[in-house]
Structures are given as C-alpha cells and as structure tokens.
Amino acid sequence: MRKHLAILFLIFFTLPSSYVGAKDATPKKYKSCAELLKDFPNGVAKNSGTIGSTYATVNAAVYKLNYKNLDRDKDGVACEK
C-alpha cells in the first residue's frame, strides 16, 4: 500500500503544469467572442447552475473578466453558441 501511495504522490507532484488545469491558471481578457471561442469553443459560464451552460466551460474567473463586453444577453454565459 505504501508503494502505491508513494508512486501516486510522485506522479501527481511531478506532472508538468500544462497537464494540471492550464486553462484555469491565469484568466485572460478577450476583445471579442471570436477570440474567446478559440480557447473556449462553447463559451464560458460563470457557474454550473447557469441556464444554457450545458456545453459551456465553467470558469468564473474568465467570465468575471469578460462578462461586461461578451455576455450581451446577461444570462451568465459569455459567447455561447
């Protein structure tokens, strides 16, 4: 059991940061929906309970930086398709 825990510990802490939440690392401000949709193809929702966010990526930090310009219908999802 200890060997398994040690292996899991080593794997988890030696993974490059690109594998662990790279999109969540630093929120980016986008100028347009076309720009945001390159990184988030179905838009960005402020939370998982948002109506219409079935396929949108839930990322509160990105939504908070961009909702004023990119959530035109004020439904909690920026640039939804």
Instruction: Write the burial class of residue 60 (CB in 10 Å: 0-12 exposed, 13-18 middle, 19+ buried).
Output: middle
Has residue 48 been placed in a domain? yes
Has residue 4 been placed in a domain? no
Q: Is the pTM of this model over 0.85?
A: no
Has residue 33 been placed in a domain? yes
- Domain limits at 37? 23-78
**Residue 78's beta-bridge partner residues?**
44
Has residue 34 been placed in a domain? yes
Has residue 8 been placed in a domain? no
3-state DSSP assignment of residue 56: coil
CA distance 26 to 36: 14
Domains contained in the chain, number: 1
- Summarised one tens digit per residue, pLDDT across range 23-62 is 556 899 999 999 999 999 999 999 987 766 568 999 999 9
